[in-house]
Each structure stands twice: as C-alpha cells, then as structure tokens.
Chains A and B, each alone.
Chain A
Amino acid sequence: MAVAAPTQTMNNVEAVRATLYEALKADPRTIVLGEDVGARGNVFLITKGFIEEFGPERIVDTPLAEASIVGIAVGMAMEGLRPIAEIQFADFIYPAFNQIVGEAAKTRYRSNGDYTCPLVIRTPYGGGVRGALSHSVSIEALFYHVPGLKIVAPSFPADIKGLLTSAIEDPDPVLFLEHKRTYRLVKGEVPTGRYTIPIGKADVKRAGDQLTVVSYGLYVHQALDAAARLEGDGMSIEVIDLRSIRPMDKGTILESIRKTRKLLIVHEDNKFGGIGAEIAAMVAEEAFFDLDAPIRRLCGPDVPAMGYAAPLEEEFMISTEQMAETMRELVRF
C-alpha cells in the first residue's frame, strides 16, 4: 500500500522557522545573527525560542549595524562557519551593500577559490503591509546584476523550506528574499524531514497553453488567482514561479513560451531595469520568432517607493484584476 509522504500545513513564517531550526539542529557551524533575533525572536517571531534552545553564541543579537551584520558573517564564512545573517527589513540592507556586492560576492573570485563565502542573507521584502517608504521595498534588481551572488525568492512554504535548505548548504553567498505579505497569508503542505530544491529551478505552478506568465513572490499567488478566473472564460494560462532570480531558469521559460507563444512578466519591483527587463531581453534574443505578441510587463511604477496612505500603496501594487485584464488582452492579441 502506497503511503503518502508525511506533510505538515505551514504558513511561510513557519516554513522559514522550521528550516532554520532544522539547520541549527543539524550543523553546529550554523550561526544566526541579526537585529532582534534573540530574546524577541525576530520581529516576525521567526526565531522565537531559538536563543533559549541554541544559546546566545549561535543566536546573536547584533548591534544596530547592517554593514557589519553582513561583514562579520562574511568573516565567519571565510573561516568555515555557516552564518545566516538577517537584515530585519530589506529596506535596511543599503548600509550592507558594500559587504554584499564588494566583499561577499567577490571573495571566491578575487582569491581564485582560495577563500569562499558560504553565507545566507535572509530579509523580508515587499509591500501590501502599509509599510510605506522604508518597510516595503523590493531590492532584487539592485543585486541581481552582481556575479558571485545568488538570489532566491520563493513564496510557497514547501519551496521556502527546500530552497532555504539549499541556500544554507550552498558554497556561495545567497540572498534569500521573503515576501512579508505572504508570511501569514500563504499556507501550504510542507514535507517533513530534510529535502532540498535546487537553486536556479523555476516551477510551473499552473499549466496552460495560451499565455506564459512569469512572476515571483506575492504576485505568483495573485497571478494564479487571475488565471483561475480566466479559466471560466476558456483561457488557458501557464504560470511560472521563478523562485530563483540568479541563477534564473532559462529552460523552463523558453519551453513554456514555445508552447504558448506569448509572455507576460509580473513583478512588484520597479519596471525600469527590473528583473522583467532581463527576461524580456533574453526571450527577444532566443525566442523572438516563437512569439505571437509583444512581450508585456506588469511591474511596480518607477517611483522611489509606495506611499503610506492606502491609496498610494494601492496605486503601487498591482491588483489581481489588473493582472487578469492584461492576461485577457494578451490571450486575445
């Protein structure tokens, strides 16, 4: 008699928490460091109780100093520990830019492999939580230009567990982005026990043959809702969750486009120079003659950030209705 693999229902916070817990249990070289990760258990309670179980040497409440949260983690990683640094909100990562881009991403390269930097930097990003200018930004485009870094942004609990485990075990620095709006909104079944999902592998969350939608983060969930609505109108839409931003899964994107012949890219980050620009350029280079419609992008507007007032935030965020409307236009094109 076949027995289904045991699973557990979790939201995204619980998935991050369970994965960190298992990593700390599995490897004494693993250190969690960041602001308020100890007694407070992280501002989203992801590490609640960890300091009691693993001690203050492994769950390190750092001073309020983002550059050195990453910089100290780089030194730990260079000397063989497996640090998991937390930047409390992605908006606070800017002081650490040099340590991420100038140091972590270049350690292996500049030493020609003598030193490596197996480091994970976790940070919650994204809007829809009334976080305004400094608690809502998307930062991925600032970093995905950087060789030497990996960037992962899953938004389903099972993907979070598999990819965070991969990130922690990865021999190179990984920026692990957690969309904070999905933290408690998104729930799903998560296999128990250790497993990994390879970094750089997208996932077709919904199969279809009239339009390919590529997204990541919160908007994958909305895109799935929109696609489900359009199914009633006889439209068949494929939704790809990138999950990894660098490296990015070219094969899954191209395979889908060669089937659907149309592409819509949806992301919350600003449009100009965003992830969608690179995807569109790649598709134009590699699959131009497979396309039956211009590539479309639905992205955040090119303003510095979403405002605090509800109408300003709503104007920044893309609604499921907007997604459905654009999908409808493309299918009918």
Chain B
Amino acid sequence: MSDTAVANMPAVTNEQSLTLLRNMLLQRAVDSRGFQLNRQGKIAIAMGSEGHEAAQAGTGLAFERGQDLLYPYYRNTGILLACGFPLADLFRSQFARVTDRTGGRSIINHVTAKGLGIASISSIIAAQCAHAVGAAYKLKYLKETGRAVFCQHGEGATSEGEWHEAMNFAAIHRLPVVFVCENNRWAISTPQSKQMVNQDVAAKAGGYGMRGEIVDGFDPIAVYQTVREARDRAANGGGPTLVEAQCYRFLSHTTDDDDRTYRSREEVETQRKLDPVPRFERRLVEAGVINEAALAALRAEVSATVNATTDAIEAEPLPPAAGLYGNVYEGPDDPWA
C-alpha cells in the first residue's frame, strides 16, 4: 500500500482493502447489468459509473454507517452500496418495481433510505448541495459531534450557483460536511475546459476559505484516506473540506447518450488503460492481500449475486397505476379543501 500512503492518513487494513475491492467489482457488475437490461428493453434507462469505482468505494468506506448522512448524486451506485444500501433495492430502483423505496416514482439510482442516512435526491444538479449543508447545520446546531454529511457531486455541478452557495455557507459556519467532487472530466458532452478555467476543482475551495484536497480517483485507498481524514475533521468541529477525486467516465452519460459524437476514442482508450478495477485487483494480489484463486472466487460470487438479484427483482410486480397518487402532502392530494 506504500505507493499512496500519506503521513498521518488513516491506516487501511487488509479487510478494508477487500471491502473496497468487492464494492468496486459489485459496482461495475451492477452498472454493466443496467446497460444490458436497457439494451434488452427491460429498463427504460441506465446510467453507468464505470471509472468511478475507486472514488466511490473509497468514499463509501469513509462513511460511518449509523452516524453519517449521504446526499448523493445520480451517478453513485457504488457509494450507495458501500454505505449500506441493499443491492436488491438498487435493482428495485432500476426495474421500478412496486417494492422500490420510492414506489417506482423516481428514476433509476435516485433512491431514498432515511433509516440509512441516504437522502432522496432529484436530478437537478447541485440542488442536493444546499440540502447537505442544511443537514450539516442540523448536526452542528444539535451538537451531534462525531457525525458528518457527505455531499457528492461531479465537476459540472461546481458551475451551479447552488454549489457555490452551499460551499460558502458551509465555510462560514464551519459545518461538518465533506464535499466530494467526482471529477470525471465530462458533463454529458461538455468537457471540464468549457466548465471552468481551473485545472483543478479543488482550487475553488480556496475562494471560500475552505480546505481543498486533490486525490487520485482511480486509487480507492487514497480516496478513502483523504475522504476519511476530511470526514473525521468535519465530524470533530474542524470544518468542511472539498475533496476532488479525479477519475473518468468510461461510458456515455446514460444509455440515451452516445459519447462518440463528442469525444475521441483515443481519449477514452487512454483512460481505459488506467481502469481502477483491474489495477486494484493486481495491486492486492501483488501485496498478498488476496490470491488469484480467491480473486476468481470473489468475482464469481459477485457475478452470481448480481445474477440472482436481477432475476429475483425482475420477477417482482410493477407498481399499480394508483401508485401515482398519495404522498403529495401528508393529507389529501386535492388542491381544493
């Protein structure tokens, strides 16, 4: 682990490394399955997070279950799973089954799990950043030290006014929140260069008087260490941090997008050579954390789990049409009293 070890960073046990690896494999399997299901006409849309596995596994491992609050964004399959969101419920979201936690209302990966501290989100970019800061205000106001809020977003979100407003307010009040930017370089078809002049998103933190950190988003251990350190600082009154996990979006934005129309295959292939999943597998094998046989067994277990879950959830019913109604208010939907 020495290639990314940083002084005073939290240590990573072998068990945690294996947790990271399994989460990355699971995330990739779930995302691949989503694309397959869409091509089979079984789900209306899929949005993959290939290239984000290390950033999300590392961030998710830093999340303290039962304590921390997650305000995710839409490309967060891996973080959701790493924070304890059930795999079956992720497929219920993809298949929009009656058993989905939103009753089939929200589009895929827009989940909700208040009991797990995982917030309901819309697709409106950076809207959740203001909510995350409000949640962090609550933790500080009620003196719930030891708890922190994770605010997830991409680099495109940093162009939104609400991101700026959230960063500013969090810094003013030294709130227990970590802004984790998964910088995958592309906001649908818009490259970072058209999103901002800054080379590094983390540089923006200085404008708010906030600490900014850059981390290799292809290295799950480095991400874990950086985010965990920021999380612990936030949870103990040290104020917010912006962590930029630099990664890459290997796939199109969603199954409704075609990235061949706006970026070169050479760029994608160059990034693919840095694919964090096989890279982390090799690293753990070379470090003796896992052997080839155990790795093969782990891959098989993940694949079998995803297959079995896919089959089980596909068999569940769709929500009834009446599911459109209710939960507009606590009382009746009717605008006429």
Residues 94-128 of A, flagged 1 when their CB comes within 8 A of B and 0 if not, give: 01001100110011111111111000000000000
B-side contacts of A133, CB under 8 Å:
none
Q: Tell whether, in the assembled complex, residue A72 and residue B328 are in contact, meaning their CB atoms are under 8 Å apart.
A: no
Question: Which of B47-55, B117-125, B260-268, B272-280 participates in binding chain A?
Answer: B117-125
Cβ-defined partner of A111 (8 Å) among B120, B129, B131, B165: B120
Cβ-defined partner of A78 (8 Å) among B124, B135, B337: B135
B-side contacts of A77, CB under 8 Å:
134
Q: Tell whether, in the assembled complex, residue B337 and residue A201 are in contact, meaning their CB atoms are under 8 Å apart.
A: yes
Q: Tell whether, in the assembled complex, residue A109 and residue B328 are in contact, meaning their CB atoms are under 8 Å apart.
A: yes
Is B3 on the interface with A (CB-CB < 8 A)?
Answer: no
Cβ-defined partner of A106 (8 Å) among B113, B122, B134: B122
Q: Determine how close the nearest CB of chain B comes to the CB of A98; give it in whole angstroms.
A: 6
Question: Which of A11-19, A44-52, A241-249, A297-305 participates in binding chain B?
Answer: A241-249
By beta carbon, the residue of chain A nearest B71 is A75
Q: Tell whether, in the assembled complex, residue A112 and residue B169 are in contact, meaning their CB atoms are under 8 Å apart.
A: no
Is A57 on the interface with B (CB-CB < 8 A)?
Answer: yes
Q: Determine how close the nearest CB of chain B comes to the CB of A100; give it in whole angstroms.
A: 11
Is B157 on the interface with A (CB-CB < 8 A)?
Answer: no
Is B166 on the interface with A (CB-CB < 8 A)?
Answer: yes
Q: Determine how close the nearest CB of chain A comes to the CB of B113; give it in whole angstroms.
A: 7
Q: Tell whether, in the assembled complex, residue A75 and residue B330 are in contact, meaning their CB atoms are under 8 Å apart.
A: no
Is A250 on the interface with B (CB-CB < 8 A)?
Answer: yes
Please judge, given known A-B contacts A68-B169, A95-B161, whether A114 and B114 are in contact too, CB under 8 Å.
yes
A68 to B133, CA, bound (A): 9
Q: Tell whether, in the assembled complex, residue A71 and residue B327 are in contact, meaning their CB atoms are under 8 Å apart.
A: no
By beta carbon, the residue of chain B nearest A246 is B335
B-side contacts of A81, CB under 8 Å:
134, 137-138, 141
Residues of chain A from 60 to 105 with CB closer than 8 A to chain B in the complex: 62-63, 65, 67-68, 70-81, 83, 95, 98-99, 102-103
Q: Tell whether, in the assembled complex, residue B336 and residue A71 are in contact, meaning their CB atoms are under 8 Å apart.
A: no
A-side contacts of B305, CB under 8 Å:
none
Is B6 on the interface with A (CB-CB < 8 A)?
Answer: no
Q: Tell whether, in the assembled complex, residue A148 and residue B328 are in contact, meaning their CB atoms are under 8 Å apart.
A: yes
Is A172 on the interface with B (CB-CB < 8 A)?
Answer: yes
A249 to B335, CA, bound (A): 9
B-side contacts of A102, CB under 8 Å:
122, 124, 127
A246 to B112, CA, bound (A): 27
B-side contacts of A62, CB under 8 Å:
169
Minimum-distance CB pairs A-B, first 3: A75-B134, A71-B130, A200-B337
Q: List 7 A–B pairs whose Cβ atoms lie within 8 Å, in order of A's numbering.
A: A72-B166, A75-B71, A109-B328, A172-B330, A201-B337, A246-B335, A248-B335
State the A residues within 8 Å of B (CB).
31, 57-58, 62-63, 65, 67-68, 70-81, 83, 95, 98-99, 102-103, 106-116, 144, 147-148, 150, 171-172, 199-201, 244, 246-251, 282
